[in-house]
């Protein structure tokens, strides 16, 4: 499934936070959105997922216009948002959270990946299968959120700052899994503050500053030639 945004404007009340954002995520590719805190990255993902209704845009997923559709309709179409901080039902176990992902797959008309698939892709979770999500570390919660997305068999995954709050070794392991998932053919739109995590992963990146796209290209090009700060 491909994704295209055209002329995306968004507001919080009377305050405009996104101005004329255009981007395209081809089927089976990874595209990154870089920018500092407050640049509008999370709002952009919320607009795609149907969680932000103060917007004007043409948002198209595989030829279907989804702007202003309800979140559950967008989710059932195959688009999954993995939020920053991996907000999960804290009282449910790892296995119970994964079952929620499998239930979403069935709503999408798919069988859902198995628990064995989840353990193979996310081995960190197998010994924690009966642990409550609220007792997991930040890296474990992020892995579980990604595993829930994986077992739901999405067509497009929206990742909101997956490295946020994680120690570099933990983030490195998580991004290794993201690379594997991307290589399996998932379409991924990934927002990040740290450009290094997107090197060799994203085919193209967009630099967002105060709600506007100010540069685009591969990560190395943006880091070398952009006059706008990536740090």
Structural domain includes residue 20: no
184/191: higher pLDDT: 191
From the centroid of its chain, how far is CA 101? 15
Report, as an integer, the average pLDDT of 192-205.
91
Residue 20: partners with Cβ closer than 8 Å, 6 or more residues away? 7, 8, 9, 212
Residue 223 has pLDDT above 80, yes or no: no
Report, as an integer, the average pLDDT of 72-82.
96
Over residues 32-51, the pLDDT tens digits come to 999 988 999 999 999 999 99
Structural domain includes residue 96: yes
From the centroid of its chain, how far is CA 148? 12
Distance (Å, whole) CA 196 – CA 125: 26
202/220: higher pLDDT: 202
| Predicted pLDDT of residue 215 | 92
CATH, residue 157: 3.40.50.300
Claim: this prediction has a pTM higher than 0.85:
yes
| H/E run at residue 48 | helix 41-49
Residue 226 has pLDDT above 80, yes or no: no
| H/E run at residue 65 | strand 64-65
| Predicted pLDDT of residue 230 | 57
Structural domain includes residue 15: no
Structural domain includes residue 179: yes
- CB burial of residue 22 (10 Å; 0-12, 13-18, 19+): middle
| Predicted pLDDT of residue 229 | 53
| Predicted pLDDT of residue 80 | 96
Structural domain includes residue 2: no
Helix (H, G, I), strand (E, B) or coil at 229: coil
Residue 77 has pLDDT above 90, yes or no: yes
Distance (Å, whole) CA 101 – CA 84: 17
Structural domain includes residue 55: no
Over residues 136-152, the pLDDT tens digits come to 999 999 999 999 999 99
Contact criterion met (CB below 8 Å) for 64 and 32: no
Over residues 108-134, the pLDDT tens digits come to 999 999 999 999 999 999 999 999 999
Domain that holds residue 159: 25-50+70-225
Q: Residue count of the chain, please give it.
A: 231
Residue 71: partners with Cβ closer than 8 Å, 6 or more residues away? 49, 50, 51
- The domain tally of the chain equals 1
Contact criterion met (CB below 8 Å) for 60 and 23: no
| Predicted pLDDT of residue 231 | 53
- Tokens matching residue 29: 């590719």
Structural domain includes residue 63: no
Helix (H, G, I), strand (E, B) or coil at 152: coil
| Mean pLDDT lowest among 173-187, 191-205, 215-229 | 215-229
Banded pLDDT at 181 (limits 50, 70, 90): confident
Structural domain includes residue 3: no
Report, as an integer, the average pLDDT of 94-110.
96
Return the residue matching tokens 């945004």.
Answer: 5
Average pLDDT of the chain, as a whole number: 92
């Amino acid at each position: 499934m491909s994704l295209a945004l055209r002329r995306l404007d968004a507001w919080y009340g009377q305050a405009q936070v996104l101005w004329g954002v255009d981007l395209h995520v081809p089927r089976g590719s990874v595209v990154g959105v870089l920018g500092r805190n407050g640049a509008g990255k999370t709002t952009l993902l919320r607009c795609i997922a149907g969680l932000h209704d103060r917007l004007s845009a043409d948002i198209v997923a595989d030829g279907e216009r989804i702007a202003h559709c309800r979140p559950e309709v967008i989710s059932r179409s195959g688009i999954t948002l993995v939020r920053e901080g991996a907000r999960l039902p804290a009282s449910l176990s790892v296995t119970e959270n994964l079952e929620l992902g499998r239930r979403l797959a069935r709503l999408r008309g798919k069988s859902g990946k198995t628990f064995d698939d989840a353990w193979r892709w996310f081995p960190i979770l197998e010994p924690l299968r009966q642990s409550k999500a609220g007792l997991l570390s930040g890296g474990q919660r992020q892995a579980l959120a990604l595993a829930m997305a994986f077992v739901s068999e999405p067509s497009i995954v929206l990742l909101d700052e997956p490295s946020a709050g994680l120690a570099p070794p933990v983030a490195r392991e998580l991004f290794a899994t993201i690379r594997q998932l991307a290589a399996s053919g998932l379409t991924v739109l990934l927002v990040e503050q740290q450009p290094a995590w997107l090197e060799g992963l994203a085919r193209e990146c967009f630099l967002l500053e105060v709600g506007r796209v100010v540069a685009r290209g591969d990560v190395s090009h943006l880091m070398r030639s952009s006059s706008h700060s990536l740090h």
